[in-house]
Amino acid sequence: MVITPGIHDLPFTYENGCKLFELTAEEIRWELVDGIFIKAWGYNGSTPGPTIHVFPGDKVIFRVYNHLPVRTSVHWHGLEVPNIMDGVPPIEPSPYIGPGEFFDYRFTICNPPGTYMYHSHVAVPIQDNAGLLGGLIVEEPCLQHRKNYRDYLCLLQEWAVNALPWGDLTPGTYNLNFVKPRFNFFTINGRCYPKTLPLDVCCGDTVRVRFGNIQMHHHPIHLHGHQFQVVGADGFPIPPTARLCKNTILVASGETWDVQFQANNKGIWPMHCHMPHHVTNNGNPAVGGMFTTVNYLS
Ligand SMILES: [Cu+2]
């Protein structure tokens, strides 16, 4: 099962033979890094929202409640769904979900196992940049109980907290800026370093890391101390003969990339975006932002 450090998995129940998942779009107060809170929008209390896990062939209902003051939708990014379930009103017949309303997105999971995402497709410069997005994993049934195997999801986001002067990290609760935003906080699974959670590994593990990006910027993610193989792109597996060996992967907006490495070099190893100001908190010289570490437990 894929783990999203610091983010819950979305539970499900059964309704008429379908897996029923419930998401609530809502305003949240979210801590980016020590004492810096934002008024964000998320699902079920977090941004990214809870990670959804499904299997190929699952019949699913994603019941989306709207507790926002404005209408919204959810788009199932990369999934092959009927037009009316794709979540892009009014271009598609898919509906808006008004404040206080809900909508059932119903379809069968037709994609292969891999890494996908979900996000609002209404007023996206506001709603997506406010945090309305999450991860969706089509799990591989035969990998569920594999030994010495770690599988992590890292969703990349950026935030415009423009009430703070450059370099200032005064604690408080801040509004986001959606008008000519200057992105000055950068997160992995909703947190800036040093509040990001490490990826724990043990020597001998095979480690897969899945990256996803919905928002405004592209993030070249670099891993220290290891080489990785690129094993998946936008949800689809890359056959062994076509895999690149790299240590930096550019995760452009809208993309997911899966990489895999052997844990064979003990230590505490940085894994971070390589854009210099993306590894700061509001330009402060201390290390921050889209930065975490791969930590060997043994
Ligand atoms: Cu970046």
Is a pLDDT exceeding 80 seen at residue 144? Answer: no
Separation of CA 109 and ligand 1 centre (Å): 31
Average pLDDT, integer, range 133-151: 91
Q: Pick from 200, 76, 48: which is nearest to 138 by CA?
A: 76
Q: What is the largest CA-CA distance in the chain?
A: 55
Phi and psi of 127, rounded to 5°? -70, -40
How far away, in angstroms, is 21 Cα from ligand 1 center? 31
Return the structure tokens found at 46: 């977090």
What pLDDT digit, counting tens, does each position of 240-254 carry?
999 999 999 999 999
pTM score, whole prediction: 0.97
Provide the phi-psi class of 254: left if phi over 0, else alpha when psi is between -120 and 50, else beta.
Answer: left
Average pLDDT, the chain: 97
Tens of pLDDT, residue by residue over 35-83, are 999 999 999 999 999 999 999 999 999 999 999 999 999 999 999 999 9
- For residue 80, the CA-to-ligand 1 centroid distance in Å is 29
Task: Compute the distance from residue 107 Cα to the ligand 1 centre, in Å.
Answer: 34
Distance CA 140, CA 272 (A): 27
pLDDT at residue 143, as a whole number: 74
Query: Is 256 a residue whose pLDDT tops 80?
Result: yes
Q: Is the pLDDT of residue 202 over 90?
A: yes
Segment 194-222 mean pLDDT: 97
Name the band, by pLDDT with cuts 50, 70 and 90, for residue 127: very high
Report the distance separating Cα 97 and Cα 23, nearest Å: 12
Distance 262 CA to ligand 1 centre (A): 24
